[in-house]
Amino acid sequence: MAHLLSLSLGKLSALICHEEDEMRQRELKKLKAMVGMLTYRQRRELKEALAAEDETSACVGVIEAQTGQRPCPHCASGHVVRNGSASGWQRYKCRDCRRTFNALTATPLARLRQKSKWLTQVDVLRDGVSITRAARRLEVARSTAFRWRHRFMAFPRTVQAQFLVGIAEADETFFLHSRKGQRGLDRKPRRRGGSAAKRGLSKEQVPVLVARDRSTATANIILEADSKAHLVAALKPLLPLDTILCTDGSSVLAAAVKEIGVAHRPVNVSAGQRVIAGVYHIQNVNAYDSRLKNWMRRFHGVATKYLDSYLGWFRTLDRSATTGLSPASWLALASGQRSVIT
């Protein structure tokens, strides 16, 4: 009896699916017939709407494929189950805290709209264009383009080398302190980019430590001051005791390295020295500094409060040039998926 009931339920399910397919086919035929009645402008709008839906589906697919079934972002429990869908996203429910979530909950991209333009936003970031050009390409307001830029860079700016191995190089580079976009300045505003009031290094310059090993692992750390104490605090977590660090002739860097206790190979570049023993040099970190400075010039000055985001942005670009980070991986990284670069 149970066997017969199982067969009957199977046939009923197959019949329902067949009827649903036939219904969809009838609806599709009606839609096709209606398309012929549309004007040229209406057909173009329909085509754009369908393209936007395809872009949205592609975007959702990329993020969900990288994320998989994630632990609950509210209580970190792994006891989660599927719970329908909303706005194109697969939703999950935590059996422990009973709360629901999707692939973007508690990530930098949570609650951002217009998913159909997110892959284009990735292209904008890869091209490193200005806010005005980004807004034009995305067909959004400048305020939206600005907000998206910093949301998409919120996680990548935290991704950098946690330690360096083998032969490493370190150098300092400086950026003009900028209060771009702020009102009520206590000084006369500068032209875009501008220049410091004093020549050479001063409190108008923001020091950034750039450390890099021969495997291209890179860390950028904004320093409060160009001092031994701040350099030690920045470098010590990066340098295991068996690391050999190469620097230029900076006395402050030399003092910091001595306190840390790792092997030090100073290269006196100002005296014309380039390489010691055929392997010790700072050419990699200097080349990185040069690429970073050249890339930054296009923005005509970056507000110091956002400097960390731009450093992370360039690290992602530089890493992409060597590892071939795909647009899909960029999008997954922006949504907080560190696994795409490990």
The full set of domains in the chain, from first to last, is: 157-182+202-306 (3.30.420.10)
SS3 percent helix, strand, coil of the chain, rounded to 5, is 50, 15, 35
User: Residue 4 has what pLDDT?
Assistant: 37
Q: What's the CA gap between 143 and 22, in Å, rounded?
A: 47
Q: What's the CA gap between 67 and 339, in Å, rounded?
A: 9
Task: Determine if the pTM surpasses 0.85.
Answer: no
Q: What's the CA gap between 191 and 38, in Å, rounded?
A: 53
User: Residue 326 has what pLDDT?
Assistant: 78
Q: Tell me the average confidence (pLDDT) per consecutive run of 10 residues in the chain, 342 residues long.
A: 43 52 71 72 69 68 73 90 86 92 89 88 91 94 94 92 94 86 66 59 83 94 92 95 92 93 90 87 94 92 91 91 76 76 52
- 167: region left, alpha or beta (phi > 0 left; psi from -120 to 50 alpha): beta
